[in-house]
Amino acid sequence: MFCDKAISARIATHFAELTLDALPEATRHATRRALLDAVGVTLGATGLGEDAVPYRRHAEAVPGPSRLIGFFGSSTPALAALANGALAHQLDFGDTFDAGPAHPNAALVPALLALADARPELAFGEFLVAMAAGSDLACRLSIAAPRPYEEGGWYPPPLVNLIATAAACARFIGLDGDGIRHAMGLALLQGSFPSEIKYDAASPIRGVREGLAARAAVEAALLAETGATAFAEPLEGRAGFFAIYGGGAARDALLDCLGETFLGDQVSFKPWPACRGTHPYIEAALVLRDRVDPARVVRIEAETGPIQEMLIRPQPVKAEPTRAIEAKFSIPYTVAAALIDGAVTLDSFSASRIADPATRTLAHKVVEWRNPDWGRSEAASGSLTVTLDDGTTLTHRVMQAAGHPDRPMDDESLIAKFIDCAGHAAQPIAPGSARTLALQILAFPAEKPAHTLIDQAACTAKV
């Protein structure tokens, strides 16, 4: 483990000195793909994300230069980051880092977009550099703690995003290494993401929490820009990030190949709009569907480990979700929907679809079989064993769910996902226009102003 007392300074210097030319071409394209995905799921949430509405209304009350994505309103950079960040994870359809508990772009993209609007002189190339560095750091933070963050009662995705997004925001607005380091410390002072977020199944915070991280990160960067300081060692200090949240000194993963390998390149893109932990079970259900008549199903065993238990316990409750957020975190519901419909889409989580009696009946037949050998590394693994009324059993195992870099969604699949999300926006975007916007994001010139990336008029709704 690292005992280096200059970790924060080394990371901050890396952010400050990183250039677009230093980014591998593969990283540039991977970053654009992640940006496309993040903008798409945010647009979809403008029409489907009811839990984000209070955050938008709060932001609308304070005028400012930063646009509220999908709506006519604008606000301050911090409040726009809050409102747009509340949308970014609302559908649970954004990318994820399977190796660690991170959704590295969910707070990052809304925060950077809000700053881009406020600083029209900033080029898109600088946006890409900040995003690539921030996504990489979030992934590194998610796997660098000596103990799981959850053991200390913390919820890691927004926690790691808070620090990484603050560093990225500070880099984007041109702060030097000291400013970036203090931005991380100022963000740390604003963060508290307890695991109660995931334990309260009905809480809307699970979907909107990234807005809180995005707001705090923008505030931290802007404070650091004005000269505010925090402390010298926000990450490695004796009561810093890793001591408080991670149980000790950072592991090697935090600095290994820093500036050479960008872990943001390794995110998984979600084919289905539900918790990543449900994906292997959805995939298995879709594979088995042609051989399974739902009316003949007696029992469905889902192979699970400790990561998946919150998605299937308590089983009677998971089989009867009442809201989209509950259904998205339910193996029984998503498996039943996949077997009955042959697909799991944004429309699978409408109120009427969730309440379907036949789906609930089938969901009650989905029970867990706990594999004692599974741990964190099987977070995106799962299997289903279906028993029919004549005793026949059918099994399919998925050890790495679709969408992972080893089983990637190609650009055309990501564009199709973007088009689908844009069609569900508060102001639905026609497929042709959505495709044009998607292609623009994938090829937007680095020298152009970052704030011109999104044509707000094409995706703006009146409320």
Distance CA 210, CA 334 (A): 24
> Which option is the CATH number for 7-269+438-458: 3.40.50.300, 1.10.4100.10, 1.10.150.120, 3.20.20.70?
1.10.4100.10
**Taking each helix axis from N to C terminus, what angle separates 124-144 and 108-118, rounded to the nearest 10 degrees?**
150
Whole-prediction pTM value?
A: 0.96
Q: What does pLDDT average to in each consecutive run of 10 residues of the chain (463 residues)?
A: 71 98 98 98 96 97 97 96 98 96 96 98 98 98 95 96 98 98 97 89 90 98 98 95 94 96 98 97 98 97 95 97 95 98 98 97 98 91 98 97 96 98 96 96 98 79 59
User: How confident is the model at residue 217, as a pLDDT?
Assistant: 98
Cβ neighbourhood burial of 369 (10 Å; 0-12, 13-18, 19+): exposed
Question: Half-sphere exposure of residue 245, counting CA atoms within 13 Å on the CB side?
Answer: 29
Question: Domain boundaries in the chain?
Answer: 7-269+438-458, 276-398
pLDDT (0 to 100) of residue 14: 98
**What is the C-alpha separation between 20 and 103, in angstroms, rounded?**
23
Q: Do the two domains 7-269+438-458 and 276-398 of this chain adopt the same fold?
A: no
Left if phi > 0, otherwise alpha if psi is -120 to 50, otherwise beta: which for 124? alpha
Q: Residue 429 and residue 422: Cα distance in Å, rounded?
A: 5
Does the domain spanning 276-398 belong to CATH 3.40.50.720?
no
Q: Report d(CA 266, CA 34) in Å as an integer.
A: 10
Cα gap 377→448, rounded to integer Å:
41
